[in-house]
Chain A
Amino acid sequence: MNKTNYMQRTRDYYRAQGFEKDYVWAHYEEIPFTRPSRPLDQSTVTIVTTAVADPSIPKLMREAASYRFDEVPDSFDTSELAWDRETTHTRDRQSYFPLEILRSLVTEGRIGRLAERFHFVPTDYSQKNTLEKDAPRILEACRTDQVDIAILIPL
């Protein structure tokens, strides 16, 4: 399998669009790590998605937000996200938001339960916004909901 040289190609792509400063990917010299505090079959699980649940908010104004799992839209807005429009589509919600799969894993006893809410995090070029505003907001919501495991599925 050929690997795609994602970072270099992304840099070249933005340069070709006339952006003068290369994008700097967020990274940690030391990555925080913790083992799950309880077994999967006793854990509360949620999803963090970049798919847009409320497209009425203009793109540049979007902030992290939490929504109830029983109010998941039939389809999210993915029109302003970067994905390969020639090769695929996002009409199958389950391909990026596996709600039905998680529900069946709860029924089968593989995971404890689904949290009350899932979380939206905007695709934002500002690492400051992501690190200082969005991530802490989602962390707080997860703690309120007693979440053990958050699965991040970027689109």
Chain B
Amino acid sequence: MQRQSVEMALELIESSTRPGTTRETGFTWLDDESWKDNYARVDESNRELLLRLGEENRRKRAEKKKLGLTR
């Protein structure tokens, strides 16, 4: 599958005639698509946790900025 993906990418480069051309590989991650529901899931079970993680994230970034640990 990895080799096919690379070959398809190269074929796309060879054959594209205009920008924004995409091609789906047709590969599926799993037969069961339930993993898609987990992407960026927000519901009552994690709402408080997400808010806390966001606050922690902002605090840490501000600290690092203060220490000059940014670009």
Contacts and interface: CB of A to CB of B under 8 A. Distances in A.
A6 B71 CA distance: 28
Interface in B31-71: 33, 35-36, 38-42, 47, 50-51, 53-55, 57-58, 61, 64-65, 69-71
Contacts of B19: 31-33
Interface residues of B, number: 39
B44 to A, nearest CB: 11
Given A13-B40, A18-B54, A86-B38, A36 B14 contact: yes
Contacts of B7: 105, 110
Main secondary structure of the interface of B (DSSP, over half): helix
Nearest to A14: B54
A49 to B, nearest CB: 14
Contact of A1 (B16, B33, B47): B33
A74 B5 CA distance: 21
Nearest to B33: A2
Contact of B6 (A35, A86, A105): A105
A63 B33 contact: no
Contacts of B23: none
Interface residues of A, number: 44
Main secondary structure of the interface of A (DSSP, over half): loop
Interface in B1-34: 2-3, 5-7, 9-10, 13-14, 16-20, 28-30, 33
* Top 8 A-B residue pairs of the complex, sorted by shortest distance between their CB atoms: A17-B54, A31-B19, A13-B40, A33-B19, A18-B54, A9-B40, A16-B42, A16-B50
8 contacts: A1-B28, A16-B50, A39-B14, A40-B14, A87-B29, A101-B6, A105-B6, A124-B71
